[in-house]
């Protein structure tokens, strides 16, 4: 298993500003994922963050808007840049941990972002 | 591409009622299937999983059986409690570490 923490847990930000979200894992992991969960919606994968290489972004997400850092095997940050009200969402990080027969995703508690 | 479809919510039940949340999937290959639960104000937690056809995952009174012939993984519980109120996500993993989630089904259980 894995224990994942995120900071901040919530924030209210003004449009045009940026927010950096931190994700800390209690063990070393190769891959970390960042998801967005818009109000009442399912999870959408933003990007995959591997240590030592550039993050891989999903269609519709770009590095200029969501820069990601992965300085070591236990930590990652996601920045939401030049925010607009449409960025109001819960942002979650997750890591795949091998189980007995398959990988299981462990999630952080999420960062609830409101942009005014 | 791979996808997961689950029944729309919200589902509202009285305490001790029987719960079914339907989930079907489309995938190439042989995916692992999962149910995740998200309690209010929290992140997602793995509830149960099944990795091959006819496997039954179970946890906390919830069960789901991997049905390859109907490409389904319906979640059931015989007697729900108020504390089961949450959003439930069906998901699949085809082995590439990325998990594909359904839209989520919100469950309200009334006392």
pLDDT reported for residue B40: 86
At B96 the pLDDT is: 67
Contact A43 B32 (CB under 8 A): no
Is A104's CB within 8 Å of B46's CB? yes
The confidence score (pLDDT) of residue B12 equals: 97
The greatest distance separating any two alpha carbons of chain B, rounded to the nearest whole angstrom, comes to: 43
Which residues in chain B have Cβ-Cβ distances shorter than 8 Å to A55?
none
Q: In the structure, what pLDDT confidence band is assigned to residue A77 with cuts at 50, 70 and 90?
A: very high
Q: How much is the pLDDT for B41?
A: 81
Q: A62: which residues sit within 8 A by CB, 6+ positions away?
A: none
Q: What is the pLDDT of residue A41?
A: 83
- CA distance linking residue A6 with residue A92, whole number of Å: 8
Cα-to-chain-centroid distance, residue B100: 12
pLDDT at A105: 87
| Percentage of residues in chain B having pLDDT higher than 90 | 78
Q: Are the beta carbons of B98 and A45 separated by less than 8 Å?
A: yes
CB interface of A with B, residues 31-90, below 8 Å: 31, 33, 41-43, 45, 48
Lowest mean pLDDT of A25-34, A37-46, A74-83, name the range: A37-46
Q: What is the pLDDT of residue A4?
A: 94
Cα–chain center distance at B99: 13
- Taking a C-beta distance cutoff of 8 angstroms, is the pair A46, A56 a contact? no
Residue of A nearest to B96 (CA): A103
Please name the residue of chain A whose CA is at the shortest distance from the CA of residue B9.
A40
Write the residue in A42, A102, A106 that is nearest to B32 by C-beta.
A102
Mean pLDDT, chain B, rounded, equals 93
The tens digit of pLDDT for each residue in B17-61 reads 999 999 999 998 889 999 999 998 888 899 999 999 999 999 999
Q: Taking residues A49-76, what's their average pLDDT? A: 93
Q: Output the pLDDT for position A99.
A: 76
How far the first Cα of chain B sits from its last, in Å, is 41
Contacts of A109 in chain B (CB under 8 A): 42-43
Residue in A42, A102, A108 closest to B103 by CB: A42
According to the 3-state scheme, what is the secondary structure of chain A? CCCEEEECCEEEECCCCCEEEEEEECCCCCEEEEEEECCCCCEEEEEEEECCCCCEECCCCCCCCCCEEEEECCEEEEEECCCCHHHCEEEEEEEEEECCCCEEEEECCCEEEEEC
Residue A105 neighbours by CB under 8 Å, 6+ apart: A33, A94, A95, A96, A97, B34, B36, B44, B46, B91, B93, B99
Chain B residues with CB under 8 Å of A31 CB are 97
Contact residues, chain A, for B46 at CB < 8 Å: 104-106
Q: What is the pLDDT of residue B59?
A: 96
Residue A16: is its pLDDT beyond 80? yes
- Cross-chain residue pair A42–B97, CB shorter than 8 Å: no
Whether A105 and chain B come into contact, CB under 8 Å, resolves to yes
Average per-residue pLDDT for chain A:
93
Integer Cα distance of B63 and B51 in angstroms: 14
């Amino acid at each position: 298993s894995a224990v994942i923490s995120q900071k901040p847990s919530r924030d209210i930000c003004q449009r045009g500003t940026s927010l950096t979200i931190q994700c800390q894992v209690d063990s070393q992991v190769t891959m970390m994922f960042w998801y967005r969960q818009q109000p009442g919606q399912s999870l959408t994968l933003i990007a995959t963050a591997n240590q030592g290489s550039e993050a891989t972004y999903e269609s519709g997400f770009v590095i200029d808007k969501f820069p990601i850092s992965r300085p070591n095997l236990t930590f990652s940050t996601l920045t939401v840049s030049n925010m607009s009200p449409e960025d109001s969402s819960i942002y979650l990080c997750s890591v795949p941990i091998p189980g007995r027969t398959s990988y299981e995703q462990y999630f952080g508690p999420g960062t609830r972002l409101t942009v005014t | 591409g791979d996808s997961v479809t689950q029944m729309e919510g919200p589902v509202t039940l009285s305490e001790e009622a029987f719960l079914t949340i339907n989930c079907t999937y489309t995938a190439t290959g042989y995916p692992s299937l999962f149910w995740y639960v998200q309690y209010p104000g929290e992140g997602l937690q793995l509830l149960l999983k099944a990795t091959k056809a006819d496997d039954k995952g179970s946890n906390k009174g919830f069960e789901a059986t991997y049905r390859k012939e109907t490409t389904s993984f319906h979640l059931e519980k015989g007697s729900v409690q108020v504390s089961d109120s949450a959003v439930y996500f069906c998901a699949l993993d085809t082995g590439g570490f990325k998990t594909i989630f359904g839209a989520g089904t919100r469950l309200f259980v009334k006392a």
